[in-house]
Chains A and B, each alone.
Chain A
Amino acid sequence: MTRGSRQYLRPDAIARIHRLELRARAVVEGALAGLHKSPFKGQSVEFLQHREYVRGDDLRRVDWKVWGRQDRFTVKEFEEETNLRLTLLVDGSASMDYGGGAEAVPPRPTKYDAAATLAASLAWLALSHGDAVGCGVFDDRLRGSVPARTKRSQLTSICDVLEAPRNAGTGDFHRVLRSVAESLPKRGMVVIVSDLLGDRDGVFAGLQLLRTRGHDLAIVHVLDDDEIDFRFEGATRFEGLELPAHLACNPRALRDGYLAAVEAFLGEVRQRAAAVRCDYALVRTGEPLDAALVRFLSRRASVAV
């Protein structure tokens, strides 16, 4: 394992994740059969349904018995269980650099660190189940990526991508998600690990595009405790990490309004995620990431069909 994997795959986190099975909610395409339901219908041990023959179908799949009885050409479809194809998209924009520092009590990682840890944990879990995992880091575009593979060394590659120096620019979710949707050859699961601070319309437009392509979606919403609780005191000058803005104020005076705005933001995100049938989990950088991941995975397991 590289230094990055050691950094991001903390033993305590990994120990907890290892006791759960990661099961996809939707059927995914894949070469390997396993525990996951595949969204695709092909040769399989379980008959699914008949459909009308179209030009180009394999003649070996034609159901001759139906032709003999009904004098029409139909094709048999079978459920096929394949391995999960997991694509991890980690937000590497400037806003993800907030957090960390020795003054935080208890010490907290930056949002990017937390996101990368979560992504690496998911990658390890998926890889341990024989799933293919790919990963990409993006801001206004996909900066680094690793195609989905099942190799054990894939985790190292993923960690290398996560650890690579970032441009930390402004995020452009729609552009990135559109390019990811176009680049993914098969349906799979796409997990976006981000703080979603940016163009939310673009985020959910991109998610809608992925949903239309049949992908299983999940958002791991990473926010710092400060961003959720806003417990600043004393005269402070806030300077935007992405937005070119600054504000000198007494944070206490604006706390109520800030919290109301954050609450509205989180409500909107949940609502819109539900609208595109995307799983959503809020993760605070101040909470143990393993607990957050267990919570995420347990929730997915409880809603799996």
Chain B
Amino acid sequence: MPSLDFATLFWWGLPLVAAPVLIHLINLLRQRRVKWAAMEFLLASQRRYRTRVLLRQIALLALRTLAVLGLVAALAQPRWRSAGGIAGGDATTHLVILDDSCSMGDATGDEGDLETDAAAGDTRRATAFDRGRRVVERIAADLASSVGRHRLAVAVTSQLAASADALPPLLPFTDIAPGSIQTVRDAVGRAAAGAGAAGPREACSGMRRLVAAAGGPRVVWLVGDFRGRDWLGSDEPAATLRQLAADGATLRLVDCAGNGPGSNLTLERLAVVGGVPAANVLLPVEVEIRNDGPTAVRDVAVELREDGGGRPGVRIDEIPAGGTVSRRFDVRFTTPGSHALEASLPGDVLQADDSRQAVIDVVDRVDVLVVDGAPDAASGGLGSGDGFYVATALAPGAGAATGLRPRVVPPAALAATDLSRFDCLWILDVERLDAAAVAAVEAYARAGGGVVFFCGPRTRADVVNDTLHRGGEGLFPVPLAGAIDLLPDAKAAAQTPDVTVEDHPVVAVLAGQRNPLLDAVRIERFWAIDRGFDAADHGVRRLLSLRTGQPLAIEKTFGDGLVVAVLTTAAPEWNNWARANPSWVVVLLELESHLARLRRQAESVTVGEAVTVRLEAGVDEPDVDFVVPPDAAVVRQTAVATSGPLLEATLSATARAGIVEARWRRLDGTEQQRSFAVNVDPGEGRLERAGIGRLEAALRGVPFRYDRATDVAATAGDVAGRPLAVPLLIVVAALLLLEQLVAYAAGYHPVARRPTA
């Protein structure tokens, strides 16, 4: 059966135009015969009005024929395209853009709304994406049975958000007929809600590209869950729809999100929050869970797995509605290498954000460089000065493994040392650093390294101010004024502690109630800073202060790194801190961990982003095998040169959450491996919907039609172009009225009696 398009209906109906002629001919055959006496008068009238009668007859026939023609055309449902011309004969292109972002896996909805998973062989609650698939199938079925010719193309937002060499649509442009519905079903059946965050906002440019490629009358169907974070946080989706509407596309928005307040817990973060990532060292890890539901959630069990194996989990008593709760736990890895840590929650309406991975690269020891300005440091040993106290605090020795391996060097060795392999720099009471050394240290700090300065008797204020502080341009946090004694407070009735703790994570462990360990610290002498220096203006932050209100330890951000200056000696020369006071070790270890945080920060990859491995030319082979989840498929990529001796091998787009392993060889044959944790964007767990009211406000000025997934139907009224049926019927009515007037003039209507005698 041909599709009921304008042309088909019109040509089928066209023979009806001959009806007036046929009726006229039939009437001729059915004429009444009258034997008439007064023929002479009749013939006289006929001779007189022959032309007028003929013209009226022709006009009547023409009007009746045109009326039938107009009626046939109106019933054929023609449409007028803005590009000009009757659109009844042209196909209307329907572009369905299906949101396959992570949030479309939301299973909120009626409990009876189930979906059969053919692969798994079970039945589960339908997700928003399942409803979206049904909408696409229903659109195809309705178009196949509606008037006119229709083409359908289906694309998912993750495809459209890809780069210029985007994947072809899920379903290329296909003429829709009853037989093509299965093709549509198979195409959308291959799609699934992904773990990525590529929703309508990310797919805007791809959407414009796809719509522009269509041409002709177009209907754009946006099938998704219309979350607030996508539609209210950015104007780009609205701007895109505005442009599409201006180009003549008809917009249909279909909301597939389920009704009802879904209660969703999201694993926001799983990360190492301190410590030294060395073998056999306890590492503090923090897990953060957000509750997006309307009510508090109690007794939440967080399962943890290390390297695929189970380990004790974490239990959270209560997470308030809309709130976030974090918990810390320690992990210890006995062997160096990449270790995977996974946290997972009990399944809820959105399962994709119920698990999170982290990769912890553990080394045997973490090297720390200690630059000791003492004269005996040149011998390479620890000496007995600052270097000794710092080195022993960072690596106490057997029985107290910190994972740190301090190396003490004199200042002269600084410039020649490759600072990149050290976790942190400790510069202890150095009289002077040459320009090369200063440059190297500053470069190291800018690249994310941590630097700690201790100031003592060898420190020269002029040198520090001129070479290291340089009016705030340098890495040293404050300008020094001079070394002064901290005199006892004779007025105080009770002895006030010399050192007070500021609000800083390094000394957070010592914050709160008066700590006797810190109270026991006596500062005899310290470096005062320039009185005119305003710490707030220069973005410096205090860690510790003296009872006089002057700073003792100050932190500054320099580039990507952090620099801390402690304005007294490390060795118990100007103070007694390092002498048998456990807080000394605690603060130094915390300081080390804090300064090295940025360098140790694991590279976070969100689903949809690329994974890049940096190799060294001349050291590593260029071929890298990426083992991707969930089925450990191997994708080989060849590294390409970037800048200098570095090469980069990139896995262009990650589709699923999990651990991606990159494996390659070095030229000497040794196997190398690095792991990456790929996680779902935690923002996808924010399931709050934009709602039609806010959607209309956000899309003000954009003509669109909004439907719930259960209400959508692709009727003939959605066909692009302006319908002409009603105007044609009006014309037909006018023709019929004119026909009646002509018929009256031609004498087909009763006339008033006109007696003649």
**A residues neighboring B (CB under 8 Å):** 94-98, 111, 195, 197, 223-224, 227-229, 232-243, 245, 247-263, 265-266, 282, 284
Q: Which residues of B contact A197 (CB under 8 A)?
A: 37-38, 40
Q: Which of B15-46 contact A (CB under 8 A)?
A: 27-28, 30-46
If A254-B42, A256-B49 touch, whether A235 touches B30 (CB-CB below 8 Å) is: yes
Q: Does B753 lie at the interface of the complex (its beta carbon under 8 Å from any beta carbon of A)?
A: yes
Contact for A236 among B31, B53, B746, B755, CB less than 8 A: B31
Q: Which residues of A contact B754 (CB under 8 A)?
A: 229, 259
Q: In the bound complex, do residue A236 and residue B49 qualify as a contact, i.e. CB atoms below 8 Å apart? A: no
Q: In the bound complex, do residue A261 and residue B28 qualify as a contact, i.e. CB atoms below 8 Å apart? A: no
Q: In the bound complex, do residue B37 and residue A227 qualify as a contact, i.e. CB atoms below 8 Å apart? A: yes
Q: Which residues of A contact B757 (CB under 8 A)?
A: 223, 228, 266, 282, 284
Q: Which of B717-757 contact A (CB under 8 A)?
A: 746-751, 753-757
Q: Does B56 lie at the interface of the complex (its beta carbon under 8 Å from any beta carbon of A)?
A: yes
CA A234 – CA B56 in complex, angstroms? 16
Q: Which residues of A contact B41 (CB under 8 A)?
A: 258, 261-262, 265
Q: Which residues of B contact A282 (CB under 8 A)?
A: 757
- Output the nearest chain B residue to A195 by Cβ-Cβ distance: B37
Q: Which residues of B contact A252 (CB under 8 A)?
A: 746-749, 751
Q: Does B190 lie at the interface of the complex (its beta carbon under 8 Å from any beta carbon of A)?
A: no
Q: Which residues of A contact B751 (CB under 8 A)?
A: 252, 255
CA A233 – CA B750 in complex, angstroms? 8
Q: In the bound complex, do residue B37 and residue A234 qualify as a contact, i.e. CB atoms below 8 Å apart? A: no
If A257-B44, A261-B44, A284-B757 touch, whether A243 touches B39 (CB-CB below 8 Å) is: yes
If A245-B43, A255-B747, A261-B44 touch, whether A227 touches B49 (CB-CB below 8 Å) is: no
Q: Which residues of A contact B27 (CB under 8 A)?
A: 235
- Measured between C-beta atoms, what is the minimum distance from B750 to chain A in Å? 8
Q: By CB atoms of chain A within 10 A, which of B39, B40, B751, B753 has the most? A: B39
If A95-B37, A235-B31 touch, whether A256 touches B45 (CB-CB below 8 Å) is: yes
Q: Does B491 lie at the interface of the complex (its beta carbon under 8 Å from any beta carbon of A)?
A: no
Q: In the bound complex, do residue B31 and residue A257 qualify as a contact, i.e. CB atoms below 8 Å apart? A: no
- Output the nearest chain B residue to A255 by Cβ-Cβ distance: B747
Q: In the bound complex, do residue B40 and residue A237 qualify as a contact, i.e. CB atoms below 8 Å apart? A: no
CA A220 – CA B106 in complex, angstroms? 105
Q: Does B531 lie at the interface of the complex (its beta carbon under 8 Å from any beta carbon of A)?
A: no
6 smallest CB-CB distances across A and B, nearest first, come from A252-B747, A257-B45, A95-B37, A261-B41, A240-B39, A98-B37
Q: Which residues of B contact A111 (CB under 8 A)?
A: 37
Q: In the bound complex, do residue A248 and residue B31 qualify as a contact, i.e. CB atoms below 8 Å apart? A: yes
Q: Which residues of B contact A238 (CB under 8 A)?
A: 34, 36, 39, 42
Q: Which residues of B contact A266 (CB under 8 A)?
A: 756-757
Between A and B, 6 residue pairs with Cβ closer than 8 Å are A237-B34, A241-B35, A241-B36, A250-B746, A253-B746, A258-B42
CA A228 – CA B32 in complex, angstroms? 20
Q: In the bound complex, do residue A247 and residue B33 qualify as a contact, i.e. CB atoms below 8 Å apart? A: no
- Measured between C-beta atoms, what is the minimum distance from B22 to chain A in Å? 14
Q: In the bound complex, do residue B32 and residue A236 qualify as a contact, i.e. CB atoms below 8 Å apart? A: yes
Q: In the bound complex, do residue B37 and residue A257 qualify as a contact, i.e. CB atoms below 8 Å apart? A: no
Q: In the bound complex, do residue A237 and residue B31 qualify as a contact, i.e. CB atoms below 8 Å apart? A: yes
CA A95 – CA B38 in complex, angstroms? 8
Q: Which residues of A contact B750 (CB under 8 A)?
A: 233
Contact for B756 among A96, A251, A263, CB less than 8 A: A263
If A250-B746, A252-B746, A253-B746 touch, whether A262 touches B756 (CB-CB below 8 Å) is: yes
Contact for B45 among A98, A236, A260, CB less than 8 A: A260
- Measured between C-beta atoms, what is the minimum distance from B743 to chain A in Å? 10
- Output the nearest chain B residue to A262 by Cβ-Cβ distance: B41
Q: A240-B37, A253-B53, A257-B44 are in contact. List 17 more A-B contacts (CB 8 A).
A: A95-B37, A97-B35, A197-B37, A228-B755, A228-B757, A229-B756, A236-B33, A237-B31, A238-B36, A238-B42, A241-B36, A253-B746, A254-B53, A255-B751, A258-B41, A260-B45, A282-B757
CA A263 – CA B746 in complex, angstroms? 21
Q: Which residues of A contact B46 (CB under 8 A)?
A: 247, 249, 254, 257
Q: Which residues of A contact B53 (CB under 8 A)?
A: 249-250, 253-254
- Measured between C-beta atoms, what is the minimum distance from B42 to chain A in Å? 6
- Output the nearest chain A residue to B47 by Cβ-Cβ distance: A257
Q: Which residues of B contact A227 (CB under 8 A)?
A: 37-38
Q: In the bound complex, do residue A232 and residue B37 qualify as a contact, i.e. CB atoms below 8 Å apart? A: no
CA A92 – CA B746 in complex, angstroms? 37
Q: Which of B201-251 contact A (CB under 8 A)?
A: none
Q: In the bound complex, do residue A229 and residue B31 qualify as a contact, i.e. CB atoms below 8 Å apart? A: no
Q: In the bound complex, do residue A253 and residue B747 qualify as a contact, i.e. CB atoms below 8 Å apart? A: yes
CA A248 – CA B57 in complex, angstroms? 13
- Measured between C-beta atoms, what is the minimum distance from B41 to chain A in Å? 4
Q: In the bound complex, do residue B33 and residue A239 qualify as a contact, i.e. CB atoms below 8 Å apart? A: yes
CA A251 – CA B42 in complex, angstroms? 9
CA A197 – CA B36 in complex, angstroms? 11
Q: Which residues of A contact B32 (CB under 8 A)?
A: 234-237
Q: In the bound complex, do residue A247 and residue B39 qualify as a contact, i.e. CB atoms below 8 Å apart? A: yes
Contact for A253 among B36, B44, B56, CB less than 8 A: B56
CA A43 – CA B57 in complex, angstroms? 73
Q: Which residues of B contact A245 (CB under 8 A)?
A: 39, 43
Q: By CB atoms of chain A within 10 A, which of B32, B37, B57 has the most? A: B37
Q: In the bound complex, do residue A235 and residue B39 qualify as a contact, i.e. CB atoms below 8 Å apart? A: no
Q: By CB atoms of chain A within 10 A, which of B28, B31, B38, B44 has the most? A: B38
Q: In the bound complex, do residue A247 and residue B42 qualify as a contact, i.e. CB atoms below 8 Å apart? A: yes
Q: In the bound complex, do residue A239 and residue B40 qualify as a contact, i.e. CB atoms below 8 Å apart? A: no
Contact for B49 among A96, A240, A253, CB less than 8 A: A253
Q: Which residues of A contact B746 (CB under 8 A)?
A: 250, 252-253
